[in-house]
């Protein structure tokens, strides 16, 4: 990810405090899990040629003060434990899987937090691009409202080739699934789809909502090669283009 805009309002996005601290856009612990023994993560982006190498994923030190960063920790902690549980417990077969989810609201807040943090950061489009849903995301994280957006999960099994499992995180981006508009991000092989509009869902998706669900059901996606996923194919092409131009 490369920075796409600079903040129009300096300081903490919640209280305006000028003293801000370093925030990880996607949870540091999950980025560390992805990199494993490799000291670097390889970052690619869809929109421009480029790859960066960071030790613990993208950060922004100008979005939250200490007190508001601390307010995000419970959701981050819960999401990290949840993703690690999925990796440990969900086998690579079957069309769906069930995973323990003792605090469904906190899992939804984790998804809201990651999308909000990305959007307000120097990497994202700016929260105003989300219109009224930007406020809803922010309230879900910091005001702990109970009217939370709908969340769906899937487990993907991406492979670099027939034998090598691909480990990658994908920063949030808007996506359309049929008639449903969502924001999607992926960490540790778990894909989070957050539905921000109020339109009713097509019936076939019922039963997959993570809201209020313990255990929660994950749709299992067939094992796919990364080059067969259109958005990843574009990102990987950018990575190769960048390598060629930096030789
Ligand atoms: Zn603050």
What does the pLDDT read at residue 3?
Answer: 55
- Sign of the four-CA dihedral 193, 196, 202, 205: positive
Q: Which two tokens stand for residue 18?
A: 């000028």
Average pLDDT rounded to a whole number, residues 117-140: 90
Report domain extents, the chain. Answer: 21-246
> What pLDDT, on the 0 to 100 scale, is given for residue 161?
67
Determine how β-strand 190-195 pairs with β-strand 150-155: antiparallel
Out of 118-122, 124-128, 194-198, 240-244, which region has the weakest mean confidence (pLDDT)? 240-244
Peptide bond into 215 cis (omega under 30): yes
Instruction: Check residue 221 and give its pLDDT.
Output: 74
| Ligand 1 centroid – CA 13 distance (Å) | 7
Give the burial string for 88-115 (b: 16+ CB within 10 Å, else e).
eebeeeeeebebebeebbbbbbbbbbbb
Distance CA 52, CA 244 (A): 14
Q: Which of 68-72, 178-182, 194-198 has the highest mean predicted lDDT (pLDDT)?
A: 68-72
Q: How far is the CA of 225 from the centre of ligand 1 (A)?
A: 42
**Residue 34 confidence (pLDDT):** 72
How far apart are the CA of 71 and the centre of ligand 1, in A? Answer: 9
211 Cα: distance to centroid of ligand 1 (angstroms): 28
pLDDT at 229: 59
What are 80's two structure tokens? 């990290």
> Could you tell me which residue, 210 or 219, shows the higher pLDDT?
210
């Amino acid at each position: 990810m490369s920075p796409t805009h600079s903040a129009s309002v300096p300081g903490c996005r919640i209280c305006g405090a000028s003293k801000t601290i370093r925030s990880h856009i996607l949870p540091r612990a999950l980025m560390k899990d992805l990199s494993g023994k490799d000291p670097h993560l390889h970052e690619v982006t869809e929109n421009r040629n480029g790859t960066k190498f960071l030790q613990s994923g993208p950060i922004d030190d100008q979005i939250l003060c200490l007190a508001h960063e601390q307010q995000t920790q419970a959701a981050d902690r819960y999401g990290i434990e949840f993703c690690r549980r999925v990796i440990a417990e969900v086998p690579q077969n079957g069309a769906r899987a069930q995973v323990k989810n003792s605090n469904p609201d906190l899992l939804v807040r984790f998804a809201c937090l990651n999308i909000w943090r990305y959007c307000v950061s120097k990497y994202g489009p700016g929260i105003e691009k989300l219109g009224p849903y930007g406020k809803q995301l922010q309230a879900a994280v910091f005001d702990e409202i109970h009217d939370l957006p709908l969340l769906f999960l899937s487990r993907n099994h991406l492979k670099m080739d027939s034998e090598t499992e691909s480990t990658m995180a994908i920063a949030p981006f808007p996506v359309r699934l049929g008639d449903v508009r969502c924001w999607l991000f992926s960490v540790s092989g778990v894909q989070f789809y957050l539905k921000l509009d109020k339109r009713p869902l097509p019936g076939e998706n019922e039963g997959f909502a993570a809201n209020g669900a313990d255990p929660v059901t994950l749709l299992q996606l067939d094992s796919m090669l990364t080059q067969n996923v259109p958005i990843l194919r574009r990102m990987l092409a950018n990575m190769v283009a960048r390598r060629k131009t930096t030789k």
